[in-house]
Structure 1
């Protein structure tokens, strides 16, 4: 299947990256928040080029009667500004035994292409996964990775079934399920089964096999995926996939030279070179949180407040919030370490209190 993120916009308009989105922009579709630089509709997202539709989303009514965001043809499950990532739905490639033809059906090549976008496949968060018995599948790319110059990558793994009793829920170590890592710098991939491994002999036990690139933290192997073939039914045929994104395909050093297009517009924000392909991202500076792509988007974190941050000072009532940080100060007339220790009355103050008490009891002072 060819899935290409290319859209020729009907009326492209030049826009500086620092231009803020309109206040009337839709920022939620269904149950998914849409933070800038992503957006729905003209003027509501970061426009980076005529053929790059990374940040321009649509809010579509789906067959189940709910609204969901899409990036062209790809359903978006969520967007993280802080991580520079988007979760999308990726199709599973099935390979099943056909009782009529007495052969395996499906397993055809499934090609997915993000090369005309600012997306890259996350090598840290995704794994190529094969589910089934005696099933060998590959994931490959015709694109040459910048981290593997001069070579086209291919990797795969084989799932075997020495016996039904050996399958175990949650285990993807080769028996009924296997996984393989992918390299950095990849923005397209092809999934295909090695068809010489015909599984017709075990069709009564395991009729279908599956291959897919999937978010590793989401995937949890179930033995019924092999014995009952319910991987497709339980997921709707699609699973989460994590994409890394950048706001510009240049380095931070190059981006900061172009002040009109530089995307890190909030004060207290910093530029970060992407580790997964060419490009850069923006982060709020340490001690700040929010959206670095918006004017005033990075706000000071109140470390002394509740805000989900654990109390930073060991002595209650000693935290003082500062721009981008905090300090722990013992109260007046006390001394100590409010960060990790205790605050105690100063010795000079303690002596003064004793002297006052003695002078206040002249009868006792005579003894």
Structure 2
């Protein structure tokens, strides 16, 4: 359970009552539920399913599958239609999710396309692609990308793009993404589906020796810095998928808007010293944010806690210690 100063809670009291017990802050998951998949913490309302029929999440659309065949184990969205939709981080603060996305890639030799990889990204859960935290990138000296999108709120379609060009790599500046070797542009708000179709004006016939590849992707610009070496890097796709996540917004999807949500105190998520924000995309929903002057506090993350094993936050903004299964004691000292 995340307790925040002034009892501003981003995880609702009702979710605690549904769990019958307070949620473990170090776990921030329902009691008895797996709270981590490999290196990723999975906070409620999301929950690791793995055969539990949604018992660890708010409902089935918040299910996460932990693939234990990988080393370390990795979480994936249970309902995602996207390829390689691996979850890298789920944040309660700001209600964002980081996930792996695809990279469109074309490989050219002697004016011919050797291989072509488009991107089709589709997400059907309580998520949309953040327009404020992502950019569309195109990498190459003779490349353009067409971004085809579907808006969550209207179901309408839209197309835009980004064009790069350069006569030789000596004209390129590392770190610059203004259209010479690298192009970046904003994306519209309200996306849950997009395609990236990558093309070339002259099939790299003028730049093939130094730039046999073209690339395009949507991701967090703070995680990407263009380098001239990207133009000839055959490992760019794997490297970028692993290091440049796409940022998604998630929201509470059990009421159409704040007014309706507030009408049911037993399920309303935003509590003391927090504000409810209508989420107008898809069929509606809402998010919770702390009022000015308040912030989330994870007492159990402090270096001064004295628990020998497990810790959970309390609604008063403090913490308590408890022993894991198979141990006994008062929580401050546990024995097996």
Q: TM-score, normalised by structure 1?
A: 0.66
Q: 1:137 to 1:69 in 2, by over 3 A?
A: same
Structure 2 counterpart SS, 1:192: strand
* 8 Å CA contact 2:108, 2:203 repeated in 1: no
* 8 Å CA contact 2:39, 2:72 repeated in 1: no
Q: Alignment partner for residue 167 of structure 2, among 159, 162, 175?
A: 162
Structure 2 counterpart SS, 1:74: coil
1:59-107 deviations in Å (ceiling 9; x for gaps): 21355x21121113511111111111100001111101146xx511344
Q: 1:61 to 1:98 in 2, by over 3 A?
A: farther
Number of matched pairs? 271
Write the distance in 2 (CA, Å) between the matches of 1:152 and 1:232. 27
Q: 1:268 to 1:233 in 2, by over 3 A?
A: closer
Q: 1:204 to 1:110 in 2, by over 3 A?
A: same
Q: 1:86 to 1:238 in 2, by over 3 A?
A: same
Q: Alignment partner for residue 94 of structure 2, among 76, 83, 107?
A: 83
Q: Alignment partner for residue 287 of structure 2, among 262, 277, 281?
A: 281
1:169-189 deviations in Å (ceiling 9; x for gaps): 111111110011111111100
Write the distance in 1 (CA, Å) between the matches of 2:176 and 2:159. 24
Matching residue of 1:128: 136
- Structure 1: gaps spanning 5 or more residues: 1-15, 302-367
Structure 1 counterpart SS, 2:206: helix
Write the distance in 1 (CA, Å) between the matches of 2:30 and 2:317. 24
Structure 2 counterpart SS, 1:224: helix
Matching residue of 1:45: 57
Matching residue of 1:68: 74
* 8 Å CA contact 1:120, 1:244 repeated in 2: yes
Write the distance in 1 (CA, Å) between the matches of 2:228 and 2:58. 44
Aligned runs of 1:249-268 on 2, under 5 Å? 250-264=256-270, 266-268=271-273
Structure 2 counterpart SS, 1:191: strand
Give the drift of 1:137: 0.7
RMSD of aligned Cα (Å): 2.9
1:242-276 deviations in Å (ceiling 9; x for gaps): 00011126211122223344333x44443222376
1:256-306 deviations in Å (ceiling 9; x for gaps): 223344333x44443222376632112344554449xxx9876659xxxxx
* 8 Å CA contact 1:104, 1:200 repeated in 2: no
Matching residue of 1:311: none
Q: 1:113 to 1:27 in 2, by over 3 A?
A: same
Write the distance in 2 (CA, Å) between the matches of 1:296 and 1:270. 21
* 8 Å CA contact 1:90, 1:238 repeated in 2: no
Write the distance in 1 (CA, Å) between the matches of 2:243 and 2:103. 6
Q: 1:195 to 1:172 in 2, by over 3 A?
A: closer
Give the drift of 1:230: 4.0
Q: TM-score, normalised by structure 2?
A: 0.71
Aligned runs of 1:1-367 on 2, under 5 Å? 19-20=18-19, 22-41=30-49, 42-47=54-59, 53=61, 55-61=62-68, 63=70, 65-72=71-78, 74-98=85-109, 103-114=112-123, 116-141=124-149, 143-144=150-151, 146=153, 152-235=157-240, 239-248=244-253, 250-264=256-270, 266-274=271-279, 278-290=284-296, 300=317
If you compute each CA radius of gyration, which structure gives the higher value, 1 or 2? Answer: 1
Write the distance in 2 (CA, Å) between the matches of 1:211 and 1:238. 15
Q: 1:237 to 1:80 in 2, by over 3 A?
A: closer
